[in-house]
Amino acid sequence: MEQIAIIGAGAAGCFCAVELKRRRPHSHITVYEAATKPLAKVAVTGGGRCNISNSFEYIRQLGEAYPRGERLVRHAFAQLSPEQTCAWWEREGVRLVTQSDGCIFPESQDAMQVVRTLENLMRRLGIELRTGCRVLELNYGPQGYTLRLQQGEVRADRVVVTTGGGALGLLKPLGLEIVPPVPSLFTFRIGDEGLRSLMGTVVEGVTLSLAGMKKYRSAGTLLLTDWGVSGPATLKLSSYAARELSERDYKATLLVNWLSSSEQQVRSWIEGTARGGAAQKLVSSIHPDGLTSRLWSHLLRRAALREDIRWAELGSKGISRLASTLTADAYPITGRCRFKEEFVTAGGVAASEVNPKALEARRYPRLHFAGEVLDIDAITGGFNLQAAWSTAWTVASQAE
Ligand SMILES: Cc1cc2nc3c(=O)[nH]c(=O)nc-3n(C[C@H](O)[C@H](O)[C@H](O)COP(=O)(O)OP(=O)(O)OC[C@H]3O[C@@H](n4cnc5c(N)ncnc54)[C@H](O)[C@@H]3O)c2cc1C
């Protein structure tokens, strides 16, 4: 009987176990889990609601959602697309709802429904689950694979590694290339008291970038907090620039374009206001839609403009300073913070080590990888779990 070992009972491991057993009913599948319970992370995803997938309607290119691992994800989606994943969950009795922002959740709004569904399927299919059982090392030899556990060794003909963001040490004996793991999806500490004093302010339609790292850019909602900045635009930027920010020890300069417009467009608006019917009004009394009065006062201070001058008195230097502040307002990033304990790991087994067809190691037969252990990670919105489901399915359906 074929012995299959799955290392890690997370989203990818449990999903893969179910789909492998359905295709190989005569094999014996054992899932080894270091923790005392399977699927502990899934239970807390999406604040306990489990953002299980995404409609992808707001994603123009796959790379926007997957800063790393896009190629593997594209292959995996060809095996199990997000629509097919949703159909899978509905078939298994988990009804889903799509929010207006494209995020998909169980209708029950309960991550435990997802956990219980996978647990029940594993039990019904006769998959062996060994919890409290950490795999310390994986070796390959003429007899196949050997897993070293705290309590001895076990053999397997086929192995699927689904250990998530960490635990790459167990792969050491195989000499696979590992892209060093670094955190993704975090918020920024900002060394500017003026900005931090605006905590609680939400600004829609902001564009963020990093000075000297112009290729990283994100747009969306910005939330000002007592430590700096958070919200979707910040998390996206942290994901895009995860590796470079880690290399710089999270010291960088954040550029905020408060209006997501070009400097020229903003300058035209300022000049129009300074010359038009509002020319005699105070600069503090008129501000762009979407910016609060408190934020506007802060921005005027940043542009070294007094609040009691009139629009007509701005002068060409004042106009330039205001346009520049509104489109490239620079703040020092002094560190990173976790977002509600929610972060994913960028890095993992290098994409070049696996054949995308069955996510099988190029150098080791019948050794597969799925989920976050691969160098795949995404922005928030259900994309990370979707990658776990699709890569797990790919292993199960393509393993030969
Ligand atoms: C708080 C939080 C909320 C999140 N919310 C969402 C969300 O709503 N939507 C979304 O798409 N993504 C979300 N994510 C990300 C998502 O949870 C992960 O991307 C996803 O769980 C990855 O699945 P995985 O199976 O690859 O890894 P994991 O779920 O991390 O599972 C890996 C498993 O392997 C086990 N393991 C590790 N090493 C060993 C070893 N040596 N031996 C045995 N077992 C081992 C671990 O204990 C773990 O159970 C969230 C993450 C966090 C932290």
CATH code of 165's domain: 3.50.50.60
Span from the CA of 366 to the centroid of ligand 1 (angstroms): 23
The confidence score (pLDDT) of residue 386 equals: 98
CB 75 within 8 A of CB 356: yes
Say yes or no: 171 and 289 in one domain: no
Name the 3-class secondary structure at 166. Answer: coil
28 and 128 assigned to the same domain = yes
Residue 339 has what pLDDT?
66
Q: Where among 319, 341, 363 does a domain terminate?
A: 341
Q: At CB < 8 A and 24+ separation, what contacts does 268-271 make?
A: 270/314, 270/319, 270/322, 270/323, 271/319
Is 250 in contact with 336 (CB distance < 8 Å)? yes
Q: Of 294, 320, 341, which one is at a domain's C-terminal end?
A: 341
Q: Give the Å distance between the CA of 355 and the centre of ligand 1.
A: 23
Question: Which residues, at least 6 apart from 347, have a Cβ–Cβ distance to it below 8 Å?
Answer: 68, 178, 179, 180, 181, 182, 243, 375
Kindly give the distance from the C-alpha atom of residue 101 to the centroid of ligand 1, in angstroms, as a whole number: 23
Q: In the Cβ-directed half-sphere of 259, how many Cα atoms lie within 13 Å?
A: 20
Q: Which H/E stretch holds residue 118?
A: helix 111-125
4 backbone φψ class: left, alpha, beta (φ>0; ψ -120 to 50): beta
Q: What are the beta bridge partners of residue 186?
A: 338
Atom of ligand 1 nearest to the CA of 14: 25
Number of domains present in the structure of the chain: 2
> Is 353 found in the same domain as 320?
no
Same domain for 317 and 391, yes or no, is no
In whole angstroms, give the CA distance from residue 90 to residue 93. 5
Residue type, 255: L
Closest ligand 1 atom to residue 53 Cα is 11
Whether residues 166 and 234 fall in one domain: no
44 and 148 together in one domain: yes
Q: Do 287 and 375 share a domain, yes or no? A: no
Ligand 1 atom at minimum distance from 8 CA:
34
Angular region, 159: left φ>0, alpha ψ -120 to 50, beta rest: beta
Sheet harboring 360-361: ordered strands across?
A: 128-130, 28-32, 3-7, 158-161, 367-369, 360-361, 354-355
CA distance 294 to 216: 28
Whole-number pLDDT of residue 340:
65
Sign of CA dihedral 312, 314, 317, 318: negative
CA of 383 to the centre of ligand 1 (A): 13
| pLDDT the model gives residue 380 | 92
Contacts for 282 with CB less than 8 Å, ≥ 6 apart = 307, 308, 309, 310, 311
Say how many Å lie between the first and final Cα of the chain, rounded. 15
Residues with CB under 6 A from ligand 1: 7-13, 32-35, 40-42, 44-46, 50-51, 134-135, 162-164, 167, 170, 341-342, 344, 371-373, 382-385, 388
Q: Quick one: pLDDT at residue 341?
A: 60
Q: Which amino acid is at 377?
A: D
Ligand 1 atom having least distance to the Cα of 163: 34
Domain boundary among 324, 341, 358: 341
Q: How much is the CA Rg of the chain, to the nearest whole Å?
A: 25
Which residues neighbour 346 within 8 Å (Cβ) at sequence distance 6 or greater? 67, 68, 179, 181, 182, 183, 184, 239, 242, 243, 375, 377
Let me know: does 41 contact 11? Beta carbons within 8 Å. Answer: yes
- What single DSSP character describes residue 157? S
pLDDT of residue 226: 94
Instruction: Identify whether the C-beta of residue 239 lies closer than 8 Å to the C-beta of residue 185.
Output: yes
Domain span at 310: 186-341
- Residues 29 and 164 reside in one and the same domain: yes
Residue 153 pairs in a beta bridge with 148
Ligand 1 midpoint to CA 200 (Å): 30
Same domain, yes or no, for 348 and 288?
A: no
Do 280 and 355 fall into the same domain?
A: no
Residues 56, 102 contacting (CB under 8 angstroms): yes
Going from the C-alpha of 274 to that of each of 20, 278, 283, 306, 324, the distances in angstroms are 68, 7, 9, 15, 16
Closest C-alpha among 179, 166, 174 to residue 361: 174
pLDDT value at residue 342: 63
At 394, the amino acid letter reads T
Residues 195 and 313 in one domain: yes
Q: What is the mean pLDDT of each run of 10 residues along the chain (400 residues)?
A: 97 98 97 97 94 96 96 97 98 98 97 98 98 97 95 96 88 95 94 95 97 94 96 95 96 98 97 91 93 96 95 95 98 88 85 96 97 95 97 94
Whether residues 176 and 33 share a domain: the answer is: yes
pTM of the predicted model as reported, rounded to 2 decimal places? 0.92
